[in-house]
Amino acid sequence: MKSKNSKTVIVTGSSRGLGKSIIQLFSEKNYNVVINYKNNKESALELESKIKKINKNVIVIRADVSNRKQVKNLFQKTLSRFGQIDILVNNAGINRRGFFEDITDDDWDDILSNNLKSVFICCQEVFKHMKKRGGNIINISSAASQYHGPKTVHYAVSKAGVNSLTKVVARYGAKYNILVNAIAPGVILTDQTFDEVNSPDGKKYLDMTLLKKFGKPSDVSSACLFLASEDQNYITGQILSVSGGAYLG
């Protein structure tokens, strides 16, 4: 069932953390929303129940977005329910702290697959649908892509790859009115960053921000909403830093 006067947004990895905040804001603005999860089924269903109190146009779809077959299924189920895909937020990703010399091949492959390969597959697969009517792709990067480690080498590299991929896909999307941008958050206060915020490294990062405070999930979700909205139609190929003024280059 397709709802009237409402665009459809898919947020990958949206059962918790930043993805949860993003999907909630879009649901509050009356978008059709697709909650995607890989492992946290209980959290995803709990979020769906909460959203349904204000917006009935929500579905939950399990998919490992580093697996092309499952991505195809995610998009097909979305199209079957809502008839279109207007906005894709590539948020799914993982982090694993470790020094350069300690990173194993398996660690490297796992991080690059979850954080970069997944974005490539999702962008490529959604492209064929968005070419028909335009759309918005927003990739969630990280300030770590500018910071370059030292305890998140593979994560930093994966997010730098997301930045580059964003610019490349923006070039391909321009002729079809597909706008492609990335948001690079600094340290945002979520359950997933609790340990980092309360570590010595968290204090160092805080000292490097101009605003001398950590970000909130709403700082990122509101940026997503703006980039996806009709309030702007001339921003593409950009990496928007949401990091309290910290440039860790």
- pLDDT tens for 184-234 read 999 898 877 777 778 777 777 788 889 999 999 999 999 999 999 999 999
Q: What is the pLDDT of residue 1?
A: 42
Exposure string of 164-183, with b = 16+ CB inside 10 Å and e = fewer, is: ebbeebbeebeeeebbbbbb
Catalytic, out of 147, 155, 234, 247 = 155
Cα(118)–Cα(114) distance, integer angstroms? 6
Q: What is the pLDDT of residue 201?
A: 72
Q: What is the pTM of this model?
A: 0.94
Taking the alpha carbons at both ends of the chain, their separation in whole angstroms is 47
Q: What is the pLDDT of residue 243?
A: 92
Q: What is the pLDDT of residue 202?
A: 74
Q: What is the pLDDT of residue 249?
A: 43
**Domains located in the chain, CATH noted:** 8-242 (3.40.50.720)
Token pair of 153 as six digits: 């080498």
The list of the chain residues with pLDDT below 50 reads 1-5, 248-249
Sign of CA dihedral 235, 51, 84, 137: positive
Torsion angle (degrees, nearest 10) of CA 228, 37, 48, 133:
30
Cα(24)–Cα(21) distance, integer angstroms? 5
Secondary structure letter of residue 214 according to DSSP: -
Q: What is the pLDDT of residue 16?
A: 94
Residue that the structure tokens 């080498």 belong to: 153
Catalytic residue flag (residue 176): no
Query: How many distinct helices (H) and strands (E) make up the chain?
Result: 10, 7
**What tens digit of pLDDT does each residue of 93-114 get?**
998 888 899 999 999 999 999 9
